[in-house]
A and B are shown apart, each in its own frame.
Chain A
């Protein structure tokens, strides 16, 4: 059991990463990776939504009527997303970042990772592993987000977490990096790196 739990946690981080292997959640990973701060808040939000939704739906899994299960999932996920959004809005430290992320917090509901993991895992497993699976998938998503945001903020604004890094060496910021297409290019590079390490992902 222990090995299985370990697998549940570690698999989404690298081998079965939701972004680079399952290619889910691409939209938001292009949109919210301009700054590390935004990416970090997004990461924590997705981890929370993913983990808690999986937990709740796993507890309810034997009672959910089969014909409306997607709707029931949607209601629960939507509730979690609204809760996260409301919480972000009510803290001084996160209010500005919530305004900056604007619709993308609300759009976590459409993030395929959340519903995908509920369908694929939470509805067939007991609450504790489901919770861990949700958290781990959120973390796997967030890890890629942070890597992309690291390069985009460093090269696009010359800063990291808003602290000037390259600017002091006379670095001229690159506007292309700030625009979404560059995130896609970066993401492509990450997939490339992963596939060259993990040969079994390559199609024959």
Chain B
């Protein structure tokens, strides 16, 4: 057989490409549900790591089912807010197969819109029972996308976890692999008064913001650190209304009434007592908050500890 004439070559390559494409398409479709389930468990374990509920490696060895179950147990409420910080939708947190989260590809869509100057329609907010709010960040590193989750109490960072697609191992990859870097965030504050920068990751000695509003960059990973800095500022900017609400005290709706606002002096309608400086005590509050289908949250043992 003459395998060198043009007709044969063209037909042969066409057939081989079609066959390969078909095989890959079938395999991709078949494996998709498993891959999505794995990605979901991964994202959830990242959020829980940021929220201080355990270590990433621990979640990985747990298996997907247990990770999802733990999430359902420890999450208080998850919802989306619009650009003005007003709640839009509730995200399901149980049962396991219906948990709604924001995957990196969904975050990418928000990131792209924000880059193009469009106000985001929906931003996810995850409130955990330990009082921490987890928000995502997404941006560009040196070689590819970087993303992660910040956990905050009010405007104070309580944890962070970052992930990346292809940052340099040992340098930029430290944003994911180095718990010591992630721990730098703990105790730092968002600077709400500054328009341009709410937080800063900069070389030691080159900080423009106060010490409590920034951390040192990773040595040898200037581009990744810079990318993370931009990503965090972009997203903190998007979430600014949420945090302003949280810090100014009860200016936004008590969705599901699950959160304790420090410095809240407002009265809840239908609540017989008063939030006295909101120290966690409802004097004489026996009923429910209007529009809230949970029993009064401040009476749960958890809230009393606060």
Interface residues of A (CB under 8 A from B): 31, 34, 62-68, 71-72, 75-76, 78-79, 82-83, 86-87, 89-92, 95-96, 99, 102-103, 162, 178-180
B267 in contact (CB, < 8 A): no
A92 contacts which chain B residues (CB < 8 A)?
38, 41, 63-64
Q: How far is the CA of A99 from the CA of B165 in the complex (A)?
A: 8
Q: Is the CB of B64 within 8 A of A102?
A: no
Sample of 8 A–B contacts (CB below 8 Å): A63-B3, A86-B27, A90-B31, A90-B35, A95-B35, A99-B163, A178-B170, A180-B169
Asked if A68 and B9 sit within 8 Å, CB to CB, the answer is yes
Q: Is the CB of A79 within 8 A of B24?
A: yes
**SS class, residues of chain A in contact with chain B:** helix
- Bound CA–CA A191/B117 (angstroms): 56
Pair A67/B17 contact, Cβ less than 8 Å: no
Interface size class of B (residues with CB under 8 A): 20 to 34
Across the interface, name the chain A residue whose C-beta is closest to B57: A162
Contact A102 B3 (CB under 8 A): no
Contact mask for chain B residues 1-23; partner A; CB cutoff 8 A; 1 contact, 0 none: 10110001100110011001001
Additional 19 contacts, C-beta under 8 A, given A34-B169, A66-B4? A62-B3, A65-B8, A67-B9, A68-B12, A68-B13, A71-B13, A75-B20, A76-B16, A79-B20, A82-B24, A83-B24, A86-B35, A89-B34, A90-B31, A92-B41, A92-B63, A95-B35, A95-B38, A99-B163
Residues of B within 8 A of A64 (CB): 3, 12
A87, B35: Cα distance in complex, Å: 9
Q: Which residues of A contact B39 (CB under 8 A)?
A: 95
* Bound-state Cα–Cα, A106 to B1, Å: 35
Chain B residues at the A interface, C-beta cutoff of 8 Å? 1, 3-4, 8-9, 12-13, 16-17, 20, 23-24, 27-28, 31, 34-35, 38-39, 41-42, 57, 60, 63-64, 163, 165-166, 169-170
In this complex, the member of B4, B63, B169 whose beta carbon has the largest number of chain A beta carbons within 10 angstroms is B169
Chain B residues with CB under 8 A of A71: 13
A71 to B17, CA, bound (A): 10
Once A67-B9, A89-B38 are accepted as A-B contacts, the answer to whether A179 and B170 lie under 8 Å apart by CB is: yes
In whole angstroms, how far apart are the Cα atoms of A178 and B220 in the complex?
A: 15
Question: Which of B24, B166, B170 is A103 in contact with, Cβ under 8 Å?
Answer: B166
Name the residue among B38, B42, B165 with the largest chain A CB count within 10 angstroms. Answer: B38
Closest chain B residue to A32 by CB distance?
B169
Tell me the nearest residue of chain A to B2, going by C-beta.
A65
Residues of A close to B8: CB separation below 8 A? 65
Report the minimal beta-carbon distance from A149 to chain B, rounded to whole angstroms: 13
Given contacts A67-B9, A96-B42, contact A72 B16 (CB under 8 A): yes
Q: How far is the CA of A91 from the CA of B31 in the complex (A)?
A: 9
> Which residues on A sit within 8 Å (CB–CB) of B63?
92
Once the chains are docked, how many angstroms separate the CA of A76 from the CA of B12? 13
Most-contacted residue by chain B among A65, A78, A99, A180 (CB, 10 A): A65
**Which residue of the partner chain, among B23, B57, B169, contacts A79 with CB atoms under 8 Å?**
B23
